[in-house]
Amino acid sequence: MTSSDAAFEQLIIDARQWASQDPDPTTTAALLELADLASAGDAGATQELGDSFNGTLQFGTAGLRAALGPGPNRMNRVVVRRAAAGLAAFLTETVAAAVPGSRPRAVVGFDARYNSDIFAEETAAIFTAAGIETFLMPAALPTPLLAYAVRNLDCDGGVMVTASHNPPQDNGYKVYLGRHAVSESGRGAQIVAPYDAEIAARIDAVGALDSVELADSGWSVLPASIASDYESAMSGLVDRQHFPARDLKIVLTPMHGVGGGTAVSVLNAAGFTDVTLVAEQAEPDPDFPTVAFPNPEEPGALDLALAAAADAGADIVLANDPDADRAAVAALDPATGVWRMLRGDEVGALLGAHIVARFAAAAPEEPQSGVFANSIVSSRLLSRIAAAAGYAHEETLTGFKWISRVPGLTYGYEEALGYCVAPDLVRDKDGISAAVLIAEMAAAAKAEGKTIFDTLDDLYLVHGLHASEQLSIRVADLGLLDAMMNRLRVNPPEAFGGSAVEISTDLAEGSDSLPPTDGLLYLTRDQSRVIIRPSGTEPKLKCYLEVIRPVESAAELPEARQAARTALDDVLSDVREALGQ
């Protein structure tokens, strides 16, 4: 018998053994069918089976996320039960060490994807059997509501079963920590190192699946008031005294996700009553039938919403991703006469400036305090807005798990449509609370005869026109990512867009302000910036480009936009060349 024959035989044995312990009849049947087809020589079944058993799905700072299906490298009830048992052990040990004799508390939420409710209920059953006081969300609800509940219910941990804006075949398991597990700045935030490794170690230590105990009852299903409490808190964010305008026609899409009802309720309660849902995308649907990818950033994802807005004569489009932790904004651009979605950096700057204006209006004589923050790959415009208003500003690593932990955080955002406008309530990105302040900002602009694009131009006149672009290079072999990064380290670029590189920083070395991360940052003489890093969730290299052009008057804006676009194209060409593309 050859080694490949032996490996194939072991694969079939592993598959049948897994099927014998799998509590889910659907994945059991699918696995046995795959094993039979593979044994009969079906190459496709063999490949699928091999991938399903190609290692174990690793628990990291994003928790778990993968395609649904049988086997240790997929999302299924076996993997989730082991994850829940490991997390339960971590919470129990952590709370016992922090407050001896205290009983841990945890809350579990879920979206409307396939198996989300099952994964959530089994997690609640395992937590309860482990002695954890457990609360289960009453329905499929947005991720920000789970993050809110971790703080509101004073829990030690939280689990959200969601794959956010991933394709329909995926699901995931996102973990939050609370009161006794982390410092105050991280209470209710997503996990970061070293907690991910500590939880992963507890998962690895879980014994045979039949040793994981599930309670038949004993957890509390939260009343619907948890959702109304969240809605009341988010609608209460508006400043009716200083920003009373409410004349705004909104088209909203929840992208087949769970945020539609909550978002409409919050906007209505905040005084924005002219809200129309995109009918084809209004109800939760795990198949996401009208979009290729349920992500507002993807081409075509907002087509239905933009068409509805044009037909209705709307002022803005608001879009949430399926678990509603991100928000997208689109409006009619007066410069082109075309509806377009604003970049995350544009919305991030607009929200930052609006929050500054809110504080100034509410307490004009008080000194500014608090911290504005964004990820290192986001625009530098927010730092200029914060500095001009007297606020501190920090840059963090990519991901809200880092942004949300900034001590003294007042407002934080990342370019990938994530905004935290109320960190005392939700210590995470929240597409619904962000939508409320976006609406408030847009209505205030409209009351002055402006659009949000005019407001953005006002920022450019003060701080310079900041223009950004991204390049993503997808690879089939993860080893190619290391090869491309090594190529840059061995042969660093000398210029981008005709401007000499003055600062070259290897982010893997870390600094006083940033932990080490695999990435390279280049700053040129004309302040163009290039950041290149491997994606943390997908097999691709991501490049973030930004150029800044000074603008002295509104009349110069069209020329500055064209100059910035040309500069971005030149930088983009040099980035491709440096990567050998």
Q: What Rg, from alpha-carbon coordinates, does the chain have?
A: 25
pLDDT at 537: 66
487 three-state secondary structure: helix
pLDDT digits (tens, 9 = 90+) for 71-88: 999 999 999 999 999 999
Residues in a beta bridge with 370: none
Residue 355's H or E segment, with its range, is helix 344-362
Tell me the H-state helices in 464-510: 479-490
Neighbours of 523 (CB within 10 A): 18
All residues at 6 or more sequence positions from 74 whose CB lies less than 8 Å from its CB, including other chains: 52, 57, 66, 67, 68
Residue 443 contacts residue 245 (beta carbons within 8 Å):
yes
Please return the burial class of 86, using the count of CB atoms within 10 Å of its CB with bins 0-12, 13-18 and 19+: buried
Please return the burial class of 59, using the count of CB atoms within 10 Å of its CB with bins 0-12, 13-18 and 19+: buried
pLDDT at 363: 87
Task: Rounding to the nearest 10 degrees, give the CA dihedral for residues 95, 99, 103, 109.
Answer: -40
Residue 452's H or E segment, with its range, is helix 452-463
All residues at 6 or more sequence positions from 42 whose CB lies less than 8 Å from its CB, including other chains: none
Angstrom distance (rounded) from CA 292 to CA 301: 7
For every residue of 507-558, DSSP letters joined together read: GGG--SSS---S-EEEEETT--EEEEEE-SSSSEEEEEEEEEE--SSGGGHH
pLDDT at 369: 86
Angstrom distance (rounded) from CA 105 to CA 135: 8
All residues at 6 or more sequence positions from 157 whose CB lies less than 8 Å from its CB, including other chains: 87, 91, 104, 105, 106, 107, 150, 175, 176, 177, 178, 181
Angstrom distance (rounded) from CA 321 to CA 30: 30
Output b/e per residue, 533-566; b: 16+ Cβ within 10 A. bbeeeeeebbbbbbbbbebeeeebbeebbebbee
**Set 164, 265, 378, 379: catalytic member:** 164
| Residue 185: both structure tokens together | 């700045």
| Residue 21: both structure tokens together | 């312990």
Angstrom distance (rounded) from CA 251 to CA 311: 10
For the chain, the farthest-separated pair of C-alpha atoms sits apart, in whole angstroms, at: 83
Angstrom distance (rounded) from CA 339 to CA 330: 7
Angle at 91 between CA 165 and CA 419, to 5 degrees: 30
Neighbours of 256 (CB within 10 A): 24
| Residue 467: both structure tokens together | 């223009």
Report the top-level CATH class of 464-578: alpha beta
Please return the burial class of 287, using the count of CB atoms within 10 Å of its CB with bins 0-12, 13-18 and 19+: exposed
Quick one: fold of 224-449? Alpha-D-Glucose-1,6-Bisphosphate; Chain A, domain 3 (3.40.120)
Angle, in degrees to the nearest 10, between helices 381-389 and 452-463 = 70
> Can you list the pairs that 5-9 forms with residues at least 24 positions away whose Cβ atoms lie under 8 Å?
8/38, 8/46
Sketch the domain layout of the chain as residue ranges: 1-54, 57-223, 224-449, 464-578
Identical fold between 57-223 and 224-449: yes
Residues of the chain with pLDDT under 70: 1, 3, 536-537
| pTM metric for this prediction | 0.95
| Residue 554: both structure tokens together | 């509104």
pLDDT at 275: 98
Angle at 492 between CA 487 and CA 496, to 5 degrees: 120
- Catalytic-residue membership of 528: no
Choose the CATH number for 57-223 among 3.40.120.10, 3.90.79.10, 1.10.3720.10, 3.40.50.300: 3.40.120.10
How many helices, marked H, and strands, marked E, lie in the chain? 17, 22
